[in-house]
Structure 1
């Protein structure tokens, strides 16, 4: 039994709208179709795939354990960052700078690829990987 590709990751942000705006307005993901779940949230799409799920506050339900209802973030382990393949390094650099987003840029040894490292509003690390052109 093997694993397939990563389908999505989920964030329960402190400010749902601010985090949605970051991923859509800064990184260029698209807010898209989401099932009619019983709690607020967004599914953000990259290349036609709902890659980032943002989850608003959930209410405990009888007989169902809902992690996160008491805002205990330490129970998720040490999550460092998520990485995206990206294009248009110059365009993204200008976009981040114009929006006042702090990021660190590095060149991967041997491949010459460019990487940007930044944080979303909740401190989730985001890595953007641009192939050498």
Structure 2
């Protein structure tokens, strides 16, 4: 088996329209065309080839936390991200330096999914 890369992450959301506003307007991800599935959702591009797929009609509770289930998006400048999130009146924690010297901010989407925004300066 030769796994090449992570293609997409699927995130269950209760209200697709509210989540579109968060992922597009707060995180600044470009929205992609989506096939005509028989359930609501939206797709967003991350970087060159990776994606986040929102899947609508979530009815179960979300169990997410910075030290539990979450996903991380790498950014090039954590201070610029902090400035941009403040300008958008977004609620977030950090930036905080990790023990490996890299920096992270955590933000929570409208459904309670924790998202780490990280600047990687040091690799182990």
CA distance in 1, matches of 2:61, 2:11: 11
Q: Write 1 or 2 for the structure with the bigger share of strand.
A: 2
Deviations 1:94-132 (A, max 9, x none): 11112222222211224x221111111111010011133
Task: Return the structure number with greater relative CO, CA threshold 8 A, min gap 6.
Answer: 2
What's the offset of the Cα at 1:77?
9.5
Mind listing any 5+ residue stretches in structure 1 that lack a counterpart?
Answer: 58-67
Matched, 1:109 2:99: yes
Matches of 1:35 and 1:53, distance apart in 2: 11
The TM-score normalised by the length of structure 1 is 0.75
Q: Which has the larger radius of gyration?
A: 1
Q: Do the aligned residues in 1 keep the contact of 2:64 with 2:112 (CA within 8 Å)?
A: no
The reply on whether 1:97 has 2:83 as its aligned counterpart is no
Distance 2:111 2:16 in 1: 10
CA shift, 1:21, in A, is 1.1
Unaligned stretches of 5+ in structure 2?
A: none
Q: Which residue matches 1:85?
A: 74
- Structure 1 CA distance, aligned partners of 2:64 and 2:99? 30
> Offset at 1:13?
1.1
Count how many residue pairs are aligned between Structure 1 and Structure 2.
Answer: 119
CA contact (8 A) 1:85 1:128 kept: yes
State the match for 2:60 in structure 1.
72
- Superposition pairs for residues 1-133 of structure 1, below 5 Å? 1=1, 3-57=3-57, 71-73=59-61, 80-105=69-94, 106-110=96-100, 112-132=101-121
Distance 1:108 1:50 in 2: 25
CA-based RMSD: 2.6
